[in-house]
Each structure stands twice: as C-alpha cells, then as structure tokens.
Amino acid sequence: MPAYRLEKDTSEFTGINVFGIRMRHELFDQWLRNKATVQEVMANLAAANFDPEFYASHELEIISMFNSQKGLNVVPAKKVWWQKLIKSS
Amino acid sequence: MKSLRQTGLIVFLISLSIFSAVNFTGRFLLTDEILKTKLSDTEYANLKNNFASEVLNKEYSSSWSMASEIIAVYDKKNQEFINAKEWDKVMYTPSKDIAFKLVRASANGWITENKLLLFLLTFGLGIIGSLMFILSELKIHPVAGIKNNGIFQNASTNRGWIGIVTFIFLTGFYILLYFYPYALINSAMITDPVKHLFNPNENASQWFLYGFMYCVVMLVMGIKMIIKYRHNNYQIVRTTVVVFFQLIFAFLLIEILPLFNLPARDLKSAWPLDYTFLFEWNVQELIAAGHFGKFVFVWGIILSLVIIPVMVYFFGKRWYCSWVCGCGGLAETLGDPYRHLSNKKLWAWKLERWLVHGVLVFAILMTIFTGYVTWQIIKNPGSEITDRIFGISVYDFRAAYGFLIGSIFAGVIGTGFYPVFGNRTWCRFGCPLAAYMGIIQRFKSRFRITTNGGQCISCGNCSAYCEQGIDVRAYAQKVRILSDHHV
Ligand code: SF4
Ligand code: SF4
C-alpha cells in the first residue's frame, strides 16, 4: 500500500511513496503542477507505471485497498487490449 | 560455499584442458579404401598416386600433421594442373575440407574407442564444474539483485591476465574452427555420441561440435544469467526465450530436418545477417527440396522484409537482438560478465555508425551481385553466365565478404574479443541486420528507450554496464530519448 499525502479538505495530491514500483517522473510532475486529486492519481496509477515488461502489476490491489480505507469508489482507467499490446515505453 | 565454488572452477578447468589436449594426440592412418570412399571419382583419380607415395599407410600422431601433408599434396597437384592449363582438371573443393574428411576418416586408436568416456570427461565434467561454480552463487549472495562488486578489480573481467588468456583461447578456437578445422578433429569426435543420437550413420563435423558447444554454453551461462538477474522478470523471460530459440531452431531443427530429407535451415536467421540467402547453392537446394524448401525461401523473404520491420515498429530492434538471435544470445549469456568492457567514448560511437552502415552497404551490394548470378543460373540452367560485374568477380566479392565479415568480424573478433572489447562488439560495429533494424527503429518505430524524467543523479551505472556501449548517462542527464542522436 503506497503512502500518499493529500490535503484533508481538497483531496489534492501532494506526494507518494511507491515501495519499489518505478513510476513515471513526468506524469507525477504534471499531476503535482496541475493539483490533481488523489482519486485521479489512483485511477491512473497504471499509466504511471515505469517497470519493465513482465513485472507483476499491483495497481488493482492498491486501488481496492485505497477504496476500502477511504470508503471511496475509484475505478481504474481502462486500457483497450490493443493499447496494451503496443504500449511503448 | 566458497570451496564448492573453487572446486567447481577446478573441475571446469580440468575438463577444458582435456578438451583442448586431445587434439594433440591420436593415431591416424590413411588407407586407399578411405580415399576411395571419401573422394569424388575425379579427385581420387587425380590424387591417388601422389597420396600413395606421400601419405598413404603412414602413421601420424596428430590430426594437424597428417592434414598438413594432405594439403601440401593437394595444393601441389592443383598447382600442376594450373601450370599445365588443364582447367577441367583443377579441383575446387577447399583443401581444408578435403583434409578434414580424410583425416577424420583416418582416425583410429584410443580416442575413437573411448568417445563416450571422453565426452563425459570434457562436456560432462565441464557442465558439472560450471554448475557448481554458478549455483554456489545462490548461497554466497542469497539476496537477489545486481552485484557488480569488484568487477573492475577481477583479473578475468578487467582485461587482466585471466581475461587475456580467455581472449587468446577464444580467438584461437575461432581461428582453428574457421580456417584450420582439422586441428579440432579429436574434439569433434568427442561429440560423436551426441551426433549419433540423431543419425547413427553420420559423424560429427566441426560445425556439429560448434553448434553443440554453443548450446551447452548458452544453457549453462543462461542459468548463470537467470541467477544474476533473478529479481528481474523481464530478464528471466527473455533469457529463457533466447536460449529456447537457440536450442530448437539453431540446433535441434538443423539436426532433425535432414533426417526427413529436408534442407537444414535456421528459420530464425534473417538476411542480411544470413548473407548466403541468395547464393545459388542455397536457392537451388531450397527449390529442389519441394514444398518445404519453397516455404523456407519465401519465409526468408517475408522475415526480412515484412516481419522484421513490423516487429521493430512495435517492439524495437531488441525483439530480435535480445530475444531471438543466436549471436545476441551468446553475447547475453557467455558474454554477460564482460558487458562493462564496451567502449563508451564518443569516437567509438562515431566509428560504430560508419562501420555498421558500411557493412550493410557491403552486404546489400554483395547480395545484389550474387542474386543476379543466381537468377541467371536458375533461369537458364547450363548456359553461360556473367559472373563479373564492374570487372569484379562475384565469387571473389562474396568470398571476401564471407572471410572479412562472416568469419573474422562476426566470429573471431565478435566472440573472441569478449574479454577485451565487451560482448557486443560484432553487434555494435558490424552486424548489417542491426544497421537495417536501426534505420527502421530510428525513423519508424513506436519503441523508444526513454529516461524516466529528470531523476538522473549521474552515478554512471547505466553507461558503465551498457553492453552496447551506449553512453546512457549522457542522454539521462539531458532527459533525452535514446534515439535522438544529438549527444
Ligand atoms: S546485432 Fe545482429 S548479431 Fe547482434 S543480436 Fe542483433 S541481429 Fe544478432
Ligand atoms: S540514468 Fe544512469 S547515471 Fe543517471 S542515475 Fe540512472 S544509472 Fe545513474
């Protein structure tokens, strides 16, 4: 479960500790600058993954844990199968 | 555990010494019977008297000494024909091949009687010793993750004396294999028990020996690779796949296809790396081999012109170089301990681009010329053909390619120089397929190696361990994609 920091009232995302999952620097930079909400970050966690192919992905677990702790209902943004196939990284 | 490791190393070295030393011994006796069965009728008629007076029924104690005399006789006879301008009598089989098959058939004595024992003492012991060495690593470094500690202090990986000895050994092996194969006849004979599993009536050639060694080395060093990168799923999958391609396509199929009277071809080997694709013997053999042969021919064209570009478009050239190719496979297994020795200087990168594209141009020209000759031969069999283009003989041109690029660059330098120049020397500086894929990747590919934003702390690890000699750090510091070449 990543530790995340948010402003209590606005849900603004202010930082993250990802426990060894490599994450895209640019995407977080953008989220921080645009004051994205934690919900938005959580929903798009998979897009921020910078691990090589064939690494186990934990996004779904993280999101469901987040939902159950916060009583929220964040749905991960879906990728179409062919987008996964040609995901360039 | 340290002692297990050392014992493994000693066992391995013993097996390697036996493997090398057998070639200095043996008993070889050439008889008229052998000459008759091994030579063609004209060769036999041409040579029998000369052989009778010089080599026949004389006992030799090494393959080298017998082969040298056979070659001397053969060359002398050929020279006589040339001097007398008797062109129809001149023999074109390379002398080293004549020598190889005659000496091979002349072998008798303890090595021929103890092949299986010797096989166990060389390959058997070698595998056991290496595995002891490799597996003990799991106990010595129980925590998964890269450990390059001491790599620049170790004489085997810092171009120290062990590296130099390894370099001399590897280079020597390749020189013998390509140019003096008869020196390795006893080593080849040791692999007969394996060859006979496929075909009891055929003995192992130097190429069987090489192919078998290649597989054994890739398997054993592949295990080492997987242990070293066991924290990394990508490397585990990739290493398994590349070893699989070698075992199935470059070895098993090559041995099995001829049993069904089908041409032995490595279906993953693509032009221009496979430079013999349009040679007339290749095309003729494939056309003569029925549906399967034609399929192989068409497949070769589709592989080079369709599959490779499409795959490079989606996945980058790594799909071939680190997942499929045999040369890449050896570099990633046997060569992995030397990955940091590749040169990252700017001049090396400039030289690389000149050389690799130069080889590509050479390969394309050679293929066009050869293809033209082949086309004439196939179209009008038996008629006169033009085999000179711009005053150069096509056969000389392609022989030059085979010698300079196929043997010296790809083999002797490409692999022999692992301990000196790193493990991707041929791939960086010479491989025409890499040049071809590189052009596609640069201009038309979804695949890019990127750095992850501005996180570089300039530690230099990436550049130091990039086997392809890419100065990754220079790109990372500038937050650049690795294929905009503007360092
Ligand atoms: S560069 Fe050429 S030889 Fe090296 S792995 Fe790629 S295709 Fe094979
Ligand atoms: S990009 Fe290379 S030099 Fe920069 S921090 Fe990573 S490994 Fe070190």
d(C-alpha B72, C-alpha B25), whole Å: 21
Q: Which residue has its alpha carbon closest to ligand 2 atom 8?
A: B459
For atom 1 of ligand 1, the residue with the nearest CA is B427
B240, containing H or E segment: helix B233-245
- Give chain A's length: 89
Q: How far apart are CA B103 and CA B183, in angstroms?
A: 10
Going across the sheet that includes B27-29, the strands are B59-60, B27-29, B107-108
- Sequence-ordered list of residues with C-beta below 8 angstroms from that of B208, at least 6 positions apart, any chain: B188, B191, B194, B195, B255
**Which residues have a Cβ under 8 Å from the Cβ of B176 and sit 6 or more positions away?**
B183, B184
- What's the ipTM? 0.79
Q: How far apart are CA B322 and CA B331, in angstroms?
A: 9
Distances in Å between the Cα of A88 and the Cα atoms of A85, B321, B476, B486 are 9, 18, 18, 22
Bridge partners, B28 (sequence order): B60, B107
Residue A88 has pLDDT above 50, yes or no: no
pLDDT of A6: 57
CA distance B478 to chain A (A): 14
Ligand 2 pocket test: pick from B462, B463, B466, B471 the residue with the most ligand atoms within 8 Å of its Cβ. B462
Please state the separation of Cα A31 from the chain's center in Å.
Answer: 11
- Listed in sequence order, the residues at least 6 apart from B130 whose beta carbon sits closer than 8 Å to its beta carbon are B8, B12, B220, B224
B319 and B311 in contact (C-beta within 8 Å)? yes
3-state SS class at A12:
strand
- Ligand 1 surroundings by CB, under 6 angstroms: B 273, 320-321, 325, 327-328, 426-427, 431, 433-434
Q: Which residues of A touch B448 (CB under 8 A)?
A: 88
Residue B117 half-sphere exposure, CB side, CA atoms within 13 Å? 6
User: What is the length of chain B?
Assistant: 487
Residue A3, φ and ψ in degrees, nearest 5: -85, 135
What is the Cα Rg of chain B in Å?
24
Token pair of B458, please? 């300039």
Report whether A52 contacts A20 (CB < 8 A). no
pTM for the structure as a whole: 0.90
- Ordered per-residue pLDDT tens for chain B, 487 residues: 889 999 999 999 999 999 999 999 989 999 888 888 888 888 888 888 888 888 888 889 999 999 999 999 899 988 989 998 888 888 888 899 999 999 999 998 888 999 999 999 999 999 999 999 999 999 999 999 988 999 999 999 999 999 999 999 999 999 999 999 999 999 999 999 999 999 998 999 999 999 999 999 999 999 999 999 999 999 999 999 999 999 999 999 999 999 998 989 999 999 999 999 999 899 988 988 889 999 999 999 999 999 999 999 999 999 999 999 999 999 999 999 999 999 999 999 999 999 999 999 999 999 999 999 899 888 887 777 777 888 788 888 889 999 999 999 999 999 999 999 999 999 999 999 999 999 999 888 888 888 888 889 999 999 999 999 999 999 888 887 776 444 3
Residues of A whose CB is below 8 A from B453: 24-26, 29
- pLDDT at residue B233, as a whole number: 93
Task: Give the residue extent of every domain in chain A.
Answer: 3-86
Across the interface, of B237, B314, B452, the residue whose CB is closest to A24 is B452
Question: Are B452 and A56 inside 8 Å of each other by CB?
Answer: no
What is the whole-number distance in angstroms between the Cα of residue B467 and the centre of ligand 2? 15
Let me know if A25 is exposed, middle or buried by CB neighbors in 10 A (0-12, 13-18, 19+): middle
Q: What angle do CA B5, B9, B11 make, to 5 degrees?
A: 115
Residue B454: its chain A contacts at CB < 8 A? 25
Pocket test for ligand 2, best of B455, B461, B465, B482 (most atoms within 8 A of CB): B461
Give tens-digit pLDDT for B422-432. Answer: 999 999 999 99
CA distance B325 to B434: 11
**Res B237: pLDDT:** 96
A25 Cα: distance to centroid of ligand 1 (angstroms): 32
CA B456 / ligand 2 centre spacing (Å): 5
pLDDT of residue A83: 56
Binding site membership of B13 for ligand 2 (Cβ less than 6 Å): no
**Which one-letter amino acid corresponds to residue B470?**
I
Residues of A in contact with B241 (CB under 8 A): none
